[in-house]
């Protein structure tokens, strides 16, 4: 399988102001520790392998041994993941007034 490397876009590097979607087109799999590239991949139906601490770890493979057959989550799994992601976005006032803490504490049960 061909391998394509891409660094995180930074001012002055060749990927600055480029879109990852072109690199994801027809890709077999994305391997990353970057949350945004993992989100771009899974939202565009490209499977990914991520670290277990990545926001996408619930819907990606987490071990390179799955490179030939990476996880491809179904619609129900993707919808559950998207719901979890949007329900855990907090504003600064919600963090400051304790709302975020209460919501997250309630999820530990």
pLDDT at 31 over 70: yes
Q: Encode burial over 14-35: b for 16+ CB neighbours within 10 A, e otherwise.
A: eeeeeebeebbeebebbbbebe
Q: Are 29 and 70 in contact (CB under 8 A)?
A: yes
- Which tokens hold the place of 2? 């061909």
pLDDT tens digits for range 37-94:
999 999 999 999 999 999 999 999 999 999 999 999 999 999 999 999 988 899 999 9
CA angle 22–28–33, rounded 5-degree value:
75
| Burial environment of residue 79 by CB neighbours within 10 A (0 to 12, 13 to 18, 19 or more) | exposed
Rg of the chain taking only CA atoms, in angstroms: 16
pLDDT at 109: 61
pLDDT at 106: 83
pLDDT at 93: 96
pLDDT at 8 over 70: yes
pLDDT at 16 over 80: yes
């Amino acid at each position: 399988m061909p391998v394509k490397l891409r660094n995180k876009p930074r001012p002055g590097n060749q990927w600055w102001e480029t879109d990852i979607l072109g690199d994801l087109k027809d890709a077999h799999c994305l391997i990353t520790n970057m949350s945004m590239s993992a989100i771009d991949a899974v939202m565009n139906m490209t499977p990914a392998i991520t670290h277990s601490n990545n926001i996408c770890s619930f819907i990606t493979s987490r071990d390179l041994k799955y490179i030939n057959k990476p996880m491809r989550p179904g619609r129900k799994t993707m919808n559950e993941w998207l719901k979890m992601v949007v329900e855990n976005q907090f504003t600064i006032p919600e963090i400051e007034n304790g709302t975020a803490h209460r919501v997250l504490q309630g999820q530990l049960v």
